[in-house]
């Protein structure tokens, strides 16, 4: 009989935000951690760490994310378990979570972490379309997270995770365009979302150099995403 070695369990998190480039374009971005030890020392990786015997996977994901990046999202959803035999020099199965965070929350949490003197020096944000070479199979994990996000945006309110409580239709369309990686026709997009009944118009407007734009909000009675029969306690930090 062949003896099998033990299997370690780790957690990692793909946390995405929507930020603007210097030319004003909205793009998806995520934080990566520069590894300081082998394997893959000196390469970038997703934030994560080991699952301990006294915590659930989602609690471990929240803990390791806070420890490595200083970020604390209100929403974590389990993405997939990655366990290819050759994905690491030792046998490691990674339970991967994903999260969406508004850019203003990223800025506020990062500023608070710097003020506390605990800001990590080996964390950097990268645009999703300009990633460096990554450790382990983390590029494949990010590609899978983007595929899942693009699928969910068609039937859930997942894009709301990038937006404030009130937003214009142009804000929402830019979020969809960044997720889908393509331009959308503004008139068609407006007709589709207004006829869907998923948005509630407010009596407020955003004013600026262009004509005033009405602010909308999502129906707060509807969950950000469908957790299925497990419910949010098993899949989310909320």
Residues classed as catalytic:
121
Q: Please report how many Cα atoms fall inside a 13 Å half-sphere around the Cα of residue 37, on the Cβ side.
A: 1
**How many residues are present in the chain?**
238
CA angle 181, 44, 27 (to 5 degrees): 20
Whole-number Å distance between alpha carbons of 236 and 188: 34
Place of tokens 């004013």: 207
Of the chain, the end-to-end C-alpha distance in Å amounts to 46
Contacts of 164 (CB under 8 A, 6+ apart): 102, 104
């Amino acid at each position: 009989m062949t003896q099998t070695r033990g299997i370690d369990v780790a957690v990692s998190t793909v946390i995405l935000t929507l930020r603007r480039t210097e030319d004003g374009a909205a793009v998806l971005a995520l934080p990566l951690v520069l590894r300081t030890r082998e394997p893959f020392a000196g390469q970038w990786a997703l934030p994560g760490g080991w699952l301990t015997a006294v915590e659930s996977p989602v609690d471990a994901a929240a803990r390791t994310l806070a420890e490595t990046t200083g970020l604390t999202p209100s929403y974590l959803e389990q993405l997939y378990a990655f366990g290819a035999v050759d994905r690491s020099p030792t046998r490691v199965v990674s339970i991967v979570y994903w999260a969406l965070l508004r850019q203003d929350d990223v800025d506020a949490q990062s500023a608070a972490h710097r003020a506390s003197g605990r800001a990590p020096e080996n964390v950097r944000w990268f645009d999703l379309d300009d990633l460096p070479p990554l450790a382990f199979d983390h590029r494949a994990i990010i590609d899978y997270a983007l595929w899942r996000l693009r699928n969910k945006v068609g039937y859930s309110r997942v894009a709301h995770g990038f937006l404030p409580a009130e937003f214009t239709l142009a804000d929402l369309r830019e979020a969809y365009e960044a997720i889908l990686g393509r331009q959308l026709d503004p008139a068609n997009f407006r007709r589709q979302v207004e006829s869907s009944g998923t948005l509630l118009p407010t009596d407020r407007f955003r004013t600026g150099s262009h004509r005033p734009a009405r602010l909308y909000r999502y129906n707060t009675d509807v969950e950000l995403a469908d957790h299925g029969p497990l419910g949010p306690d098993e899949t989310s930090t909320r």
